Amino acid sequence: MSEDLQNPAQETGRALIEAKVATLPSAPGVYRMLDGDGNALYVGKAKNLKARVRSYARPSGHNNRILRMIDATQDMEFIRTETETDALLLEANLIKKMKPRYNVLLRDDKSFPYILLAEDHDVPQLYKHRGARKRPGAYFGPFASAGAVNRTLNTLQRAFLLRSCSDSVYDSRSRPCLLYQIKRCSAPCTGEISVTDYAELVEEARDFLNGKSRQVQDALLKKMQAASEATDFEAAAAARDRIRALTYVQQDSGINPGDIAEADIIAIEKQGGQSCVQVFFFRAGQNLGNKAFFPRHERDQAEPEILEAFIGQFYENRPVPREIFVNQKLADAALIGEALSTRMGHNVKIRKPQRGDKMNLMRHAEQNAREALARQVSESASQRKLLKGVAEAFGLESAPERIEVFDNSHLHGTNQLGGMIVAGPDGFIKNQYRKFNIKDENTQPGDDYAMMREVFTRRYGRLAREENRGSAEWPDLVLVDGGRGQLNIAHEVLVELGLGDVPLVGIAKGPDRDAGRERFFMQGKSDFMMPPNSPVLYYLQRLRDEAHRFAVEGHRARRNANIRKNPLDGIDGIGALRKRALLYHFGSGRAVGRASLSELEKVEGISAKMAQRIYNHFNSDES
C-alpha cells in the first residue's frame, strides 16, 4: 500500500471533491473525507477510487446525510491498495481508529472471554482468558458474558479436574488446596495424580472443547460400568459425577443449535432511527450465549448498510467462525466473506437462511433484537430527560453528551489512586473509565488536594495538547467528589491549562454522609441543594457512587497486588525452583527473611554464595 498525498485545496465541498477526481487512479483503495481541523468525517472503500469519489461530485441524487457530509468536507486523503479485499480490511481498521462522524460505529469494543486449556506447561491449566490469543492451547468460545464463562468453567472443573491455578502458585504448592477437597481439581501439584493420568484428563478436555462431547461421555460411561462391576464404587461415583457435569454444560446453553457446529447468528432490527444488532455464538455444537449491540449511525441509513459496517468492525480483531448467518441480504456479502477468509486462513461464508433450524434460530435472534431495542429506546428517553434536568440544574446551554466524574481513594495515605468514570446519553461508558496512580513523590500521604491536582493535570493536560474541542473525549460537564476546596483546586488546574470554560461542579456529601442532603458547588455561585426527591439528584448520586466504587476497587486491587508480592521476588537469581525450595523449607517468605545465613545454606539448591545474597537482601540496613 502507498499513501497518495494530496495538496491542500482552498475549495470545499463538491468543488473540492471534483478537483480531487482528476488525480485519482481507477484502482482499489480507501478514501477519507476531512473537516477543517483535519478530523475524519467519513472513511470509505472503493473498487475504483476515481469512479467512487466522482459520484460525490454529482450535483444531485444524494440524501440529506451525504449532502451534509459533502458540505463539511474541506480536504480528502487516499490510500491505494492492491485489491478491493485489502481496501475493505483497511476501511474497518481506520473506522475503529478514527471514529468518523458519518460512519456506522460499533461502540462496544470489549473483547469476549474464552476458556483456555493452556499447553505451554508440563501440567496444562484450564482458566478464563480475555484478550489476544497468544498463549498456546485450546480455546473454547467466545462466550457472550463473564457470567456464562464462569458457570461453564466451574462445571468443566468438576468434569475434568484440571488445575486453574497460575504456574507460580502451582510451583510453590506443598499440599493440595481447597479445590482438591471439593473435587474440582486432581491436585497434580502434589502428586495426588500421576502425570500420565492427568494427561488423559487433558485429552478428554481437549476432545470436549473440540466438540466431541458424545465420545467423551461414552468413554466415561464405560469407565463407570467397569468400576461398578469391579466393585470400585468410589471410582464409579466419580465417573458418574463427571458425566452429570458434562450433561449440565450441554443442557445449560439455552436454545438448541440444531445442526450448527460453528457459526454466529446476527440479526438487526431498526426503530425510530436507532438499531440493535443481536449476535448469538455457537461453537462445538453448543450455544455460548448472545449479546446486543447498539451501533451509532444516521437515522436514514438502511439496515443492510448498517449490518455490513457492523460485521467489518466486529470481526476486525476477533476470531471469525466458518459460517455467519444474517437476517438481511448484503450486497457485499461475498467480498466481506473473502476478506475475513483471507485474514483467518479458512473459508468464511455469510448467508441469509431461508428455512429449517437456521431460520428458526434467526427468528429467535430477531425477537431478542426487537426486545433489546425497545428497552434501549425506553431507557434512552429517560436518560435524555435526566440529562436535560442536569443542564437546567447547573445552567448549561444544552444537555451534556459526556460527563466525567472524579473520586480519589487511599488507606491512611497508602496506595493512593484517582478514578474517573464517564457517562452520557447511553449510560455509563465503561471503556472510557481511567485510573490514575499517584506518582508525584512530593505528595503527602492522604493529601486529597494534591491528589486532585495531579489527576486533573494528567487528564486535562493531554486533552489541552490535542486542542480539538470537537473530539469525542471532550467533556461537557466535570463533577468532582468534594466541596469548595476540591472544586477550587480542579478549577485552578483547568484555568492553568486554558480550559477554564469547562463546566465544573463539586458534590459534597451531606452531614453524616446522609444521601439526599448533598451540597453542590460551582465557581462564582453560592452552594445549593436539590429537593430530596428530585430524579436529577438520584442520577447525580448514581454518578458519584459509581466513581467512588471504581476508585475504591482500583485502590483495593493495587493494595492486594502489593500484599501478594512475595519478598523473594526482588532477589536476583531466585527463580521458581529456588523459590519453591525456600518456601518448602521455611514455610513463608517472611520466615526466609528472618533466617540466619547458616540456616539458608542448609536449603537444597541454595549455594553459599546465593545464601549470602538472600541474607544481604533482607539485612541490608544492618550490613
Q: Are 159 and 149 in contact (CB under 8 A)?
A: no
CB atoms within 10 A of CB 292: 17
Which SS3 state, helix, strand or coil, does residue 79 take? strand
Per DSSP, which regions of 413-570 are E strands? 414-424, 427-428, 434-437, 477-481, 504-508, 519-521
3-state SS of 289-322 is EEEEECCECCCCCCHHHHHHHHHHHHCCCCCCCC
**For 150-169, what is each residue's pLDDT tens digit?**
877 877 787 788 888 888 88
The residues, ordered by sequence, that sit 6+ positions from 198 with a Cβ below 8 Å of its Cβ are 123, 162, 186, 188
Mean pLDDT of the 514-540 span:
85
**For 29-77, what is each residue's pLDDT tens digit?**
999 999 888 889 999 999 999 999 999 988 888 888 888 899 889 889 9
Q: Are 233 and 248 in contact (CB under 8 A)?
A: no
Q: Can you give the pLDDT at residue 390? A: 93
Q: Are 11 and 25 in contact (CB under 8 A)?
A: no
**For 404-431, what is each residue's pLDDT tens digit?**
999 988 766 566 888 999 998 888 888 8
pLDDT band at 308 (very low <50, low <70, confident <90, very high): very high
Q: Tell me what percent of the residues of the chain surpass a pLDDT of 90.
A: 25
User: What does the mean pLDDT of the chain come to?
Assistant: 83
In this predicted structure, the answer to whether residue 98 has a pLDDT above a threshold of 80 is: yes
Mean pLDDT of the 532-542 span:
89
pTM of this structure: 0.63
- Cα dihedral 77, 79, 85, 88 in deg (nearest 10): -30
In this predicted structure, the answer to whether residue 363 has a pLDDT above a threshold of 60 is: yes
Q: Can you give the pLDDT at residue 252? A: 47
pLDDT band at 6 (very low <50, low <70, confident <90, very high): very low
Mean pLDDT of the 209-214 span:
68
Q: Which residue has the higher pLDDT, 598 or 272?
A: 598
pLDDT band at 172 (very low <50, low <70, confident <90, very high): confident
Ordered structural domains, the chain, with CATH? 2-98 (3.40.1440.10), 113-251 (no CATH), 263-283+291-375 (3.30.420.10), 403-562 (3.30.420.340), 567-618 (1.10.150.20)
The residues, ordered by sequence, that sit 6+ positions from 214 with a Cβ below 8 Å of its Cβ are none
**For 320-341, what is each residue's pLDDT tens digit?**
999 999 999 999 999 999 999 9
Q: Can you give the pLDDT at residue 30? A: 94
Q: Can you give the pLDDT at residue 142? A: 83
Please state whether beta strands 40-46 and 29-34 pair in parallel, antiparallel, or not at all (unpaired). antiparallel
C-alpha grid cell, residue 576: 521458581
In this predicted structure, the answer to whether residue 288 has a pLDDT above a threshold of 70 is: yes
Q: Can you give the pLDDT at residue 387? A: 93
